[in-house]
Structure 1
Amino acid sequence: MSDASDGNDVEEIREQKKEELKQKLADDSTDEPVHVGSADEFARETAEGVVLVDFHADWCGPCQMLEPTVEALAAETDATVLKVDVDQHQQLAGQYQVQGVPTLLLFADGEPVERVVGVKDKDTLAGLVGQYT
């Protein structure tokens, strides 16, 4: 056998390992909501794909009621789920005209496409996300 065929085998293995790693990273990234730390992180996360953003506050009773639903959606849907604390990120909340919490925004490929204010059940939110995934 020639060295060229060995090189092809190594390249095939390398590509297979890359794909496996990409899949593992994709699987791991959608299991839990991502707590946004900055406006730059928010912009990066909402730039592509379907992203559900939960604008919330720690002191908000309805936000606490919605928390298990948001966590379940992160685990069960293909959408990325972000959490934005409006007290820590007032500028982001203002930019997206969040006037009450909880407010959920659904982004598709970088654009806000749906807005839900208040507590909603999991089926309603999953149906909304499902329209864009």
Structure 2
Amino acid sequence: MIVEANQENFEREVFDAHNITVLLDFTADWCEPCQRQTRQLQALSRRKDVKVVRVPVEQCPNIAMAFDLDAVPMLCVVRDGKILRRSVGYLDQAAVEALIDACTAKIPQPTV
């Protein structure tokens, strides 16, 4: 499931989501690449380790401005209130998976 963000629920859905990676999908209804990106993210939203939040920029201009939105589509990976990665432009499924995996991969602990 993809959560639809708005001015009222954004902080709760994104910054209050502790110990889970949040993928923000900044999108616009008039943007064809955005629509393809959002459809593609439906499959990704089934992952247990990622929460997908769709941010319609025309309804959420303050949020878009806070994230320095340059263009749509834009994806941001957030965890525990920190922006880990950001990507502007359409990404295919493999690239989106790689973006998320890079942020969710466990860092190996040194052996003693």
TM-score normalized by structure 1? Answer: 0.71
Decide whether the 8 Å contact of 1:101 with 1:118 is kept in 2.
yes
Match of 1:46 in 2: 14
Q: Pairwise mapping of residues 73-88 of structure 1 onto structure 2 (< 5 A)? A: 73-88=44-59
1:119 has 2:90 as partner: yes
Structure 2: which amino acid aligns with 1:117?
V
| Gap regions ≥5 residues in structure 2 | 105-112
| Gap regions ≥5 residues in structure 1 | 1-31
SS of corresponding position for 2:103? coil
Match of 2:110 in 1: none
1:35 has 2:4 as partner: yes
Identical positions, percent: 34
Match of 1:107 in 2: 78
Work out which of the two has the higher radius of gyration on C-alpha atoms and give 1 or 2.
1
| Structure with more strand by fraction | 2
Runs of 4+, deviation exceeding 3 Å: none
Structure 2: which amino acid aligns with 1:34?
V
Structure 2: which amino acid aligns with 1:66?
Q
Cα distance, 1:76 vs. partner? 3.2
The answer to which of 87-96 and 67-76 deviates more is 67-76
Decide whether the 8 Å contact of 1:51 with 1:107 is kept in 2.
yes
Structure 2: which amino acid aligns with 1:64?
Q
1:63 has 2:31 as partner: no
Whole-angstrom distance in 1 between the partners of 2:51 and 2:103: 12
TM-score normalized by structure 2? Answer: 0.83
SS of corresponding position for 1:34? strand
Whole-angstrom distance in 2 between the partners of 1:53 and 1:122: 15
* Corresponding residue pairs, total: 101
1:130 has 2:101 as partner: yes
Decide whether the 8 Å contact of 1:77 with 1:126 is kept in 2.
no
Deviations 1:37-74 (A, max 9, x none): 22x42112222220000000000011012122111111
Match of 2:107 in 1: none
